[in-house]
């Protein structure tokens, strides 16, 4: 990265530990720090105590009928409107993409999505 580029910080929120590990493994580096949360409660704590340049948020954190990811998305955008937000889900229904974008997500992906694709997205924004 150039001298003008500062350290970036990313929050990854997903209930699946393997996804957290894979995304963190690809994103973390000397110029990007990564925090991970497996629940809405952990995510809230990170958001209230940190500032993020990017966030990867799973829509469903506590079961197939949940949608806590929308709440996490709104919290991230309230604390830092410039944060690049990606909402992910393996359970998209008609209208899920539109709702995610209307609630402030910059991008919406259906799982599975490769960690490398997420890394490419952030690099394109930064």
CA-based Rg of the chain, rounded to a whole angstrom? 13
Tokens at residue 78, please? 């309230």
- Provide the β-strand partners of residue 9: 33
Q: How confident is the model at residue 49 (pLDDT cuts 50, 70, 90)?
A: very high
pLDDT exceeds cutoff 60 at 57: yes
Q: How confident is the model at residue 63 (pLDDT cuts 50, 70, 90)?
A: confident
In whole angstroms, give the CA distance from residue 25 to residue 120.
14
Provide long-range contacts, Cβ within 8 A and 24+ apart, for 86-90. 86/54, 86/55, 86/56, 86/57, 86/118, 86/121, 87/57, 87/58, 87/59, 88/14, 88/56, 88/57, 88/58, 88/59, 88/113, 89/58, 89/59, 89/60, 90/60
**Domain residues of the chain, as ranges?**
8-125
Contact predicate 43/75, CB 8 Å: yes
- Looking at every residue in the chain, the average pLDDT score rounds to 92
Segment 97-102 mean pLDDT = 95
Segment 55-79 mean pLDDT = 92
Which CATH number among 3.30.365.10, 3.40.50.2300, 1.20.1290.10, 3.40.50.1820 corresponds to the domain 8-125? 3.40.50.2300
pLDDT of residue 2: 43
Segment 17-25 mean pLDDT = 95
pLDDT of residue 1: 41
Supply the pTM of this predicted model.
0.91
CA neighbor of 14 nearest in space, from 65, 78, 77, 90: 90
pLDDT of residue 87: 97
């Amino acid at each position: 990265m150039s001298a003008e580029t500062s350290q970036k910080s990313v929050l990854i929120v997903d209930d699946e530990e393997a996804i957290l590990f894979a995304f963190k493994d690809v994103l973390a580096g000397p110029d990007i720090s990564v925090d991970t949360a497996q629940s809405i409660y952990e995510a809230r704590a990170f958001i209230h105590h940190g500032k993020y340049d990017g966030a990867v948020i799973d829509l469903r954190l506590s079961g197939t009928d949940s949608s806590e990811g929308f709440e996490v998305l709104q919290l991230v955008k309230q604390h830092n409107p410039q944060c690049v937000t990606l909402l992910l889900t393996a359970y998209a229904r008609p209208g899920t993409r539109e709702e995610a974008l209307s609630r402030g997500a910059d991008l919406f992906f259906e799982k599975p999505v490769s960690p490398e694709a997420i890394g490419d997205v952030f690099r394109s924004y930064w």
